Amino acid sequence: MNKKLRSNFPYGSSPWAVRRAQWKALGLSNEDLEKPKIAIVNTSSELAICFSHLDGIAAKLKTTIREAGAVPFEVRTAAPSDFITSAGRRGGYILSARDLIVNDIEVAVEGAQLDGMICLASCDKTVPGQLMAAARLDIPAIIAICGYQPSGEFEGKHVDIEDVFLMAGHVLAGKMTAEKLEGMADNAIGGPGVCSGMGTANSMHIACEALGMAMPGSAPVAANSDKMFTDIEAAGKRIVEMVADGQTPRDILTPDAFANAAMAVLGVSGSINCVKHLQAIAIEAECDIDVYALFDELSAEIPVLAAVRPNGEGTIEAFESAGGARTVMKRMEKYIRGGAITVTGKTVAENLAEITPGEDQVIRDADNPFSNRPPIVIVKGSLAEEGAIIKLGLLEDRVFEFTGPAHVFGLADDAMEAVRGGHIKEGEVVVLRGLGVKGGPGMSTASRVVFALDGAGLGDTCALVTDGQLSGLVNRGLVVGEVSPEAATGGALGLVEDGDIIAIDAISKSVELQVSKTELDARRARLKNEPLDEGKPGWLSIYRDTVQPLAKGAVLAKREF
């Protein structure tokens, strides 16, 4: 390779001498010192099954990179799991860990001036964190998709992690025994990888391929399968070529790329969490695009082509066999921005040119979709002036409009106790606030309250509005999430009182608080006299003081909004 590498310093200089001492001690040869240095960004962790296989992948990837003529350096980052890391501080460590990953990568890769990186993508916050870092550093980068977990069986029926998550709410409501839930939990997961439904992880893997930042045909894929290792090997070879070619993420992360990613997410009725993650990636890439407006615009025309659980009865295995993200993009080729560049060095159109989809039972043709109704709806109104999100999915018999009195909670635990005690009544709008990026801090999840309402038989007779986030796995009833501005920053959600009338309309895309401006101004004046909770010191206090609103992807910055 004749290209000058940023990892090499002038002969005899201090940086050259000290890194030579370090790397020779690690066993690198004189020849190695002249080769491209590639970071393998690994989020391995023994805390969750999502990440438990990544060390094995990293080991094989090192061999591939060496054989391709480069030197691999494995580096580690935080590894958040929604089902494990959410236990502390009301779940505030989940979304905030995304931005910790970004900075972890910057410290290791930019600090060492490595020449490229390949990121092992697993559970849902690792993928956007890795993409944000790639966009920020703008060195050759590939996201390697590391696969989904096998589901299980209990009492003769399919069971997976989303079933366990949902049915915990039914136990709270007394509709299922804890013993049965224990049996489901013990059998739900059959091996490593991310959740097997169309949750945030698989949705982001698909979005990553649609962006052009993963190898074509690599999402989704069964973890540790032959197909996964074939894709990993291809990515390992390609990252070395990208260093030689000088292709970087900002060549790829263009407005057309984000449009393709939004279309892919809509086309599979993916997780609403993809919206804020894609916005954050765009900001790190300095790509001037409003991803929320993009989803709002595209949702009117993009049909839903797949119905993977929990959207329907389709399985992720069948979706992969039908061609996954690549087939979805091929079937919506008339919408896709084919000129967008990908990590292959080719355009999306070139990558799709030789793809011939099979039967359209699992991934349907655009003229024969599962639904033409938008699966993700951006709503605005007096209760969410900057916007909020409703996940409609594919349920045709669900409630689309709801008006009722507010029942306000500041803690999810209090709302859960109210469900358990029968204190939430049919026709009410449950308001769960103080869960936003600053109020959490870190954006706590409201999903367990949603599932508790479902378990209590109130899923279709109550609505829920929150400034918290919602699981990408399951969403029941009419739920408005990620209300912005959030309560902690003066949003109208913080002014709602018990009994106030809230009107939600997913068809007209509105969420309104039916209280006069005069009354709201009076309430706001009273709140100004209340002392602010500064919270505990530590990572979450740093996050609270620097995080930007959802409209800016909840990225970190020094300036206040």
Q: Are 51 and 44 in contact (CB under 8 A)?
A: yes
Task: Report the amino acid identity of residue 506.
Answer: A
192: left (phi over 0), alpha (psi -120 to 50) or beta: beta
The token pair at 354 is: 């030789």
Q: Active site residue: 218, 471, 508, 516, which one? A: 471
Tally of CB atoms within 10 A around 415: 26
Q: What is the DSSP letter of 289?
A: -
Q: How many helices (H) and strands (E) does the chain have?
A: 20, 14
Tokens 């969750």 correspond to 48
Tally of CB atoms within 10 A around 561: 11
Helix H or strand E encompassing 401: strand 401-409
3-class secondary structure, 295: helix
Tally of CB atoms within 10 A around 87: 9
**510: exposed, middle or buried (Cβ count in 10 Å: 0-12, 13-18, 19+):** middle
| CB contact burial 395-404 (16+ within 10 A = b; e otherwise) | beeeebebeb
Q: For the chain, report the end-to-end CA distance as a whole number of angstroms.
A: 46
Tally of CB atoms within 10 A around 20: 15
**Residues 378, 400: Cα–Cα separation, whole Å:** 13
Whether 471 is catalytic is yes
**Residues 471, 475: Cα–Cα separation, whole Å:** 7
Angle at 176 between CA 477 and CA 309, to 5 degrees: 45
Q: What is the DSSP letter of 194?
A: B
Helices (H), 380-505: 412-420, 447-455
Catalytic residues: 471
